[in-house]
Homo-oligomer: A and B are copies of this chain.
Amino acid sequence: MIQQLTVIGVGLIGGSLARALRRAGFVGEVVGCGRSLGNLQRARELGVIDRYHQDPAQAVAGADLVFIAVPLGAMAATFASIRDHLAPGAILTDGGSVKGSVVADARQVFGRLPPRFVPGHPIAGTEQSGVEASFAELYRNRRVILTPLPETDPVATAQVQAMWEACGAEVTQMAVDHHDEVLAATSHLPHLLAYGLVDSLARLRENDEIFRYAAGGFRDFTRIASSHPIMWRDICLANREALGQMLARFQRELAELAADVEGGDGEALLAVFERAKAARDRYVGSQG
């Protein structure tokens, strides 16, 4: 049970956490913080938060748990603005999609990794953003990865885990680097490909007509290209090393496929397609 939760960045991720914890009766007061006054007012109207401050220093005062859900590029500045204002014993956690950069930012701003900072990442989201898009069920049956470090207080980790479990999530722990590799493969690279494909088609002279004939498969495939551009720029920069490696790997695969198409090598294409279909059907499962 959290007495005062402060959410910095009351958008889809932060707003959905507040809603889920309220519904679970896991939180007393929710204080919001963010740069857009309109969004904070809307969050209060919607009952997602009880009150707000635009100044992070004021917003974290008295909080026993602070959740940071800002784009990765704003993480260091956010740490700096709250560093000297956290209540004694306050637990700090975040929802950033890359963990190496957040840990590095925390180390730099605080001088060392704060023992009660628990880096975290809920594997959930939609291509929508803002508090209007938030909903209490976002984390139900979804995975949350925590990446505590040797210096992290295990009690703080347990409390953050309990918070996410109260939202219906399944919590696992992972090393920071491993998290960033896994997410580069399953999330960051797919987003880059979807953005790249849509941009590539949008640059075609006759793109108007091309998009008109895009059917259901294309809509699903490119849905993630409607995600928040700034958030994804920050993710690509923050995880550039692991993403760069996955991207290079994919470029080699694509070069092979291009050679197979050009050479008319149906056997090689079929082998790739069958292997991919089997892998997807096996792991992603029958939910499609």
Contact = CB atoms under 8 A, between A and B. Distances in A.
Interface of A: 73, 123-127, 142-143, 145, 182-183, 185-187, 189-202, 204, 207-227, 229-230, 232-234, 236-237, 240, 243-244, 247-251, 253-255, 257-258, 260-262, 264, 266, 269-270, 272-277, 279-284, 287-288
A280 to B, nearest CB: 5
21 contacts: A73-B266, A127-B288, A142-B215, A187-B218, A193-B197, A196-B253, A196-B254, A196-B276, A200-B250, A207-B283, A211-B282, A211-B284, A219-B284, A225-B276, A227-B277, A229-B273, A229-B277, A232-B269, A234-B266, A251-B251, A254-B254
A235 to B, nearest CB: 10
SS class of chain A's interface: helix, strand, loop or mixed? helix
Given A193-B193, A251-B254, 8 more contacts: A193-B221, A194-B221, A212-B283, A214-B283, A225-B277, A226-B281, A226-B288, A237-B266
Contact of A190 (B187, B221, B230, B250): B221
Given A196-B253, A197-B193, A198-B276, A223 B217 contact: yes
